[in-house]
Amino acid sequence: MTPQQTISLRTRLVMATTAVGVLLVVVYTFFAVAAKDEIYYLCGNFKAGVSYSSVLRQLDTVHLSVYRFEKSEQGERVIHSSALHLNLLRCEITFDQDGKVSSAIYT
């Protein structure tokens, strides 16, 4: 191989690696935005007075996020978040003693 062919091969390798990296960033961004929207719009559905079963039925439709239950002194709470955002974006849904939403906060 001549030096020019080696440079050309290195250039192609760098370009291919860069293209794959850019593609991965684009795909991650697409799914991260979709996960954020999933959390944000579902959280908007949970107004005070919505039943526990309605909240669970809606949360069972998620694809890019997860939810978990927490018990506290004030009652039960559901945390809806996504690993794509390192669980930093989340919706905290708090229920009263009657099993109705008392608050839903998107943070």
Question: What is the rounded distance in angstroms from the CA atom of residue 14 to the CA atom of residue 48?
Answer: 54
Residue 39: what pLDDT? Answer: 97
Instruction: Look at the chain and count its residues.
Output: 107
Res 3: pLDDT? 63
Structurally, the chain folds into a number of domains equal to 1
| pLDDT, tens digit, 9 for 90 and up, residues 21-78 | 999 999 999 999 999 999 999 999 999 999 999 999 999 999 999 999 999 777 899 9
At 72 the pLDDT is 78
Q: CA dihedral defined by 45, 68, 103, 46, rounded to 10 degrees?
A: 10
Domain of 61 in residue numbering reads as 3-106
Q: Is the pLDDT of residue 1 over 80?
A: no
Q: What pLDDT, on a 0 to 100 scale, did the predictor assign at position 4?
A: 61
